[in-house]
Amino acid sequence: MSSIPPLTGITEILSPPKYQYEDSPIPTLKSLAAWSIFQRNTLQDISEDLEEKTPKDVKRYVEIFSSYMSHEIVGKFENDPEFFFSDYKDIDDNMFLDLIKNAFIRKKFTSEQALLKLLFISAEEGFILSMKYILQESLSRGFDIVNEIISEQTPLMMAALNGNLDEIKELISSGATVDLQDINGKTALCSAVLNGHLEALKELIRLGATVDLQDSFGKTALFWAAMDGDLEAIKELKAGATIDLQDMYGKTALFHAATMERTEAIKELRRLGATIDLQDNHGHTALFEAAYYGHTGTVKELIRLGATIDLQDNHGHTALFEAAHYGHTGTVKELIKAGATVNQQDNSGITALFLASLHGKTETVKELKKARATVNLLTFKITLATGHYRSALALIQPNVSMRSRACLNIAIPVILALGSSFFLYRQNSRLFRSRDILKQFEKDS
C-alpha cells in the first residue's frame, strides 16, 4: 500500500475551539477525521464533508485509516502497540503517528516506559515522523528517553541496525550518545557493521563514533567487519582503527578473519599492516586459527603472506598439530607441502601423529605416515587403548618389520572382538596372547 503524504492546515479546515482538548496535543486533520469515525460518525458523512474541503488524498486516507479505528483494533494498539504490527502489517508512518495522537487524546501512553516502547517501535519500523513526534512529546513531559535501553539496545542502535540514516541523524540531534554501549559493550557503530550498512557506518563516524571502542570481550567494529569479510567497512574503519589491537584473548581482527575463512579480508588487513605472526594469549597465530578449523585455502594464503609454518605456541604445538588433532587431512597435506616439520615435538614430547592417532583421525594418520612421520610403541598402544583400531592399523602399515606386521595382523581381529577391554588385562587366554604380540612388536621395533 502506498504511503499517504503528511497533511497540514488543520486551522483552515476545522474550527479550533471545537477540537481543542485540555492538556492534549493538537491532532492532525487525519487524526481528527479518524477520531470522528471512532466516535460512531459514519464514514460516508465524513468523506462527503472532507471531499468539499480537502484534497482527494485526505479522503482516500480516511477511507483506509478508518478500517483501523474500530474499538477492538484501537484497544489492541493501546494495550500492546508492539504486537499490533503482527496483525496489521500495512500500517505506515502516517497511520502510526495518528494512532499515537489519538491514544494521547485518550490519555494513553502517558508513562516514560510507554513512550520509550513507542520510540523503539518507530525506530524498528523506520517511522521517522512518529519518532520525531515521540521525542518532542517525551521532552515536553520531562522525559529523556533517547539514550534508554530496551532489550539490550538503544534507539540509535536500532536505527543503525536497520541502516536508517534519517533516524540516526534525528536521534543524534535529539541528544543520543553516539558511543553509548549496550550490556555487552557494543555500540551503534557495531550494529551498522554487523548488518552491512555502509552508509550508516560512514554517518556514525562522521557524527563522532569512536572506531576503536572495545566491547566487553575486547572486540571493535573492525573485528566484526573482518569476521563478515566486509572489505568496504574495513576500508572505512582503517583511518581510526588500530589494526593489531587485541581482544581479551589476545586475538586481532586478522585472527577473526582467519577463523571465518575471510581470505580477501586477510589480504586487506595484511595490506594495512596487520602483523602476520602476532601471537594470542595461548601463543596461537592466525595460521593456527585457520588450521584448527581446517580452512585449507586460508592456510595457503597466510603462508603466502609470510606466516611462519613451524611457529610453536605455549605448549610447543605448531599449526600442523592443530590440523592433525581435528583430522583436517587437506590442511595437513597443505602444511606438509609448505614445509611443516612432521616430527616436531611439543613440550611433552608428543607429535602431530600422536594427536591424530589418539583422536582416531585415520586419514590424517595415513597422510602423516606418507610424509615419514615416526611411529613408536606408545602411540600405537594408546591408539588401541582409546578404541581407534582403524588408526592403529594405519600406524603399523606398511613400515614395520614383516614379523611384527604378521603378528599384529593376527592380533587385530582379537582386539576388535575384545573392544576396549583389551587393556583391562582380564584373565583370558586370548587377551594374554594379544599382550604377547605387543611385546613382540616392541622387541622388533
- For residue 341, being part of any structural domain is answered with no
Which pLDDT does position 433 carry in this prediction? Answer: 43
pLDDT averaged over the chain?
Answer: 80
Output the pLDDT for position 337.
97
How confident is the model over 138-170, as pLDDT tens digits? 988 999 899 988 878 899 999 999 999 999 999
Q: With bands split at pLDDT 50, 70 and 90, how would you rate the model's confidence at 81?
A: confident
Residue 96 resides in a domain: yes
Give the number of domains in the chain. 1
Mean pLDDT along residues 15-28: 39
Residue 376 in grid coordinates: 613408536
Q: What is the 3-state secondary structure (H, E, C) of 49-110?
A: HHHHHCCHHHHHHHHHHHHHCCHHHHHHHHHCHHHHHHHCCCCCHHHHHHHHHHHHHCCCCC
The residue among 32 and 263 whose pLDDT is bigger is 263
* Cell numbers 484534497: residue: 55
More confident of the two residues 133 and 389: 133
* Residue 219 within a domain: no
Q: What is the pLDDT of residue 149?
A: 86
Identify which has the larger pLDDT, 79 or 112: 112
Segment among 107-111, 268-272, 277-281, 284-288 with least mean pLDDT: 107-111
pLDDT of residue 13: 34
What pLDDT was estimated at residue 200? 96
Neighbours of 99 (CB within 10 A): 25
- Confidence category of residue 427, pLDDT binned at 50, 70, 90: very low
250-270 pLDDT, tens per residue?
999 999 999 999 999 999 999
Q: What distances in angstroms separate CA 283 from CA 43, 100, 104, 342, 391, one per listed residue?
A: 74, 57, 61, 20, 29
pTM of the model: 0.74
Boundaries of domain holding 96 = 1-108
Place of cell 581407534: 388
Task: Tell whether 26 is covered by a domain.
Answer: yes
Q: Is residue 63 part of a domain?
A: yes
Quick check: is 325 in a domain?
no
* Alpha-carbon gap, residue 315 to 344, rounded angstroms: 12
Phi, psi torsion values for 145, nearest 5 degrees: -105, -5
pLDDT for 82? 79
Task: Assess if residue 49 is contained within a domain.
Answer: yes
Asked if residue 183 is part of any domain, the answer here is no
Cell of 197: 550498512
